[in-house]
Structure 1
Amino acid sequence: MKALRFYWDPISPYAALAFQRLPEALAGHSVVVDYVPILFGALLKANGQKGPAEIPGKREWTYRQVLWLGREHGLALPAQHPFNPLALLRLAWACTPEGLPPSRWVTELILEHVWRADGADANAPERLAALTERLAPRRQASDEQAKQRLRDATDAALQAGVFGVPTIEWQGKRFWGQDALPMLRAALDGDPWFASGAWEAAGERPAGLVRGS
């Protein structure tokens, strides 16, 4: 049984795309996947970066690309983006027993809430209330326990070297982005490249230029 960890934030359309395509990438393998909601904005802040939707030009390209990539899965843009994902992230953790991550079902419903409702507001109170009723969380999303579990998961992801979402971790290797799924599949299939030292050597390449802040 291969154990994987899928880091996600509902603010990311690429997380929604990767989630939809993950079963295909894992087909034929005996796996268990932990779906770990984390705050993408905290990763950006820790690394001094902006999100794709905060950069003119890149913002427009991101939306065009994800709509094209997501056609077969019915992906649609929410009313506003970026938006504050904290309510949804805390809700995910509020649905989950202590010591366990949210289920695939919880993850799916939250991602669909954002990315399958064309033009809807992800944080509209009536929509959040309907989603909460369907998920039937074990505690209130506003409870300190749900907030702390989100903080702990985000801090642990940062300590593990996660810098973006989606990231899929397997055997200490982190595969970032929905376009990394073929690479993940190759690793699971035993591609000899991963045992050749090339993975480690790629991270040891010296920098020839360091840009100032």
Structure 2
Amino acid sequence: MKTLDFWFDTVSPYAYLAFERLPQALEGISYSVRYRPLLFGALLKHWGQLGPAEFEPKRAWTLRQVHWQARELGVELALPAQHPFNPLALQRLALACGDVDGLPNRRVVEALFHHVWRGGGADASDPARLQALQAELRPALDPQGGEVKQRLRALTEEAIALGLFGVPTIAFEGKLFWGLDALPMLRAAMLGDAWFDGPWNEVARPQPGVRRR
């Protein structure tokens, strides 16, 4: 059985769509998934980037595009009342519900994504909704406790060290696959496509000739 690491932040609609689409994209392949929460904002800060929803033209395009993609994929999606929002409480709750390995299972991650993207357009950060979600999930650890906070920091630092720059990112055998549209590429790699033994490294060799910062 092949093992994947699915790095996510619930603030990302692309992560939500990739989460929903993953079983269909990898149909027929035997695999297991470790769901790894991180803070997308920390990745952006590390690499000196703005998020796709942090400047207006791209924010508007992103929300239009994901709505269209959801329709094409047959995935239910309702945009939250505010976006971007602070996902910290949800990311901590994910880890507070961790299983034996300290990571959340698919059921927990699904509940978190649905809270944001199937909430009927409600505010994902609404305290009453967050309290109800926590009551539903019944975490074993305190989401505001030091152990959970440290674990989320450690996972985010691990992601940065691995070279992650966005979500969703799926790690497979040392290779990183970023974005919803990378799912077919991931499938090819998992099926042993020879391209990943040579061109994968070769095509990334050219160095940038211009740097704007």
Instruction: Pick the TM interval, shorter chain.
Output: over 0.9
Contact 2:95 / 2:102 at 8 angstroms: preserved in 1? Answer: no
How far off its partner does 1:26 sit? 1.5
Q: Secondary structure at the match of 2:56?
A: coil
Deviates more, 1:199-208 or 1:86-95: 199-208
- 1:17 is matched with 17
- 1:208 is matched with 209
Q: Which ranges of structure 2 fall in alignment gaps of 5 or more residues?
A: none
The AA in structure 2 aligned to 1:184 is L
**What pairs up with 1:186-201 in 2 under 5 angstroms?**
186-195=188-197, 197-201=198-202
Q: In 2 relative to 1, CA 98–189 (structure 1 residues): closer, same or farther, beyond 3 Å?
A: closer
The AA in structure 2 aligned to 1:186 is A
Taking structure 1 as the reference length, the TM-score comes to 0.96
The AA in structure 2 aligned to 1:130 is A
Distance in 1 (alpha carbons) for counterparts of 2:152 and 2:53:
23
- 2:125 is matched with 123
Distance in 2 (alpha carbons) for counterparts of 1:203 and 1:138:
43
How far off its partner does 1:56 sit? 2.0
**What pairs up with 1:162-177 in 2 under 5 angstroms?**
162-177=164-179
Q: Does 1:8 align with 2:8?
A: yes
Distance in 1 (alpha carbons) for counterparts of 2:100 and 2:22:
26
Pairwise CA RMSD of aligned residues?
Answer: 1.0
Superimposed CA distance per residue, residues 35-74 of structure 1 (whole angstroms, 9 cap, x where no aligned partner): 0010000000000000000122111000000011112211
Deviates more, 1:183-192 or 1:167-176: 183-192
- 1:56 is matched with 56
- 2:35 is matched with 35
Q: Secondary structure at the match of 1:110?
A: helix
How far off its partner does 1:98 sit? 5.9
Deviates more, 1:202-211 or 1:144-153: 202-211
- 2:89 is matched with 87
The AA in structure 2 aligned to 1:60 is A
Q: Percent identity?
A: 56
Distance in 1 (alpha carbons) for counterparts of 2:100 and 2:44:
27
Q: Secondary structure at the match of 2:32?
A: strand
Q: In 2 relative to 1, CA 21–97 (structure 1 residues): closer, same or farther, beyond 3 Å?
A: closer
Distance in 2 (alpha carbons) for counterparts of 1:144 and 1:98:
18
Moved over 3 A (4+): none
Count matched residues: 211
The AA in structure 1 aligned to 2:28 is G
Q: Secondary structure at the match of 1:151?
A: helix
Distance in 2 (alpha carbons) for counterparts of 1:38 and 1:5:
12
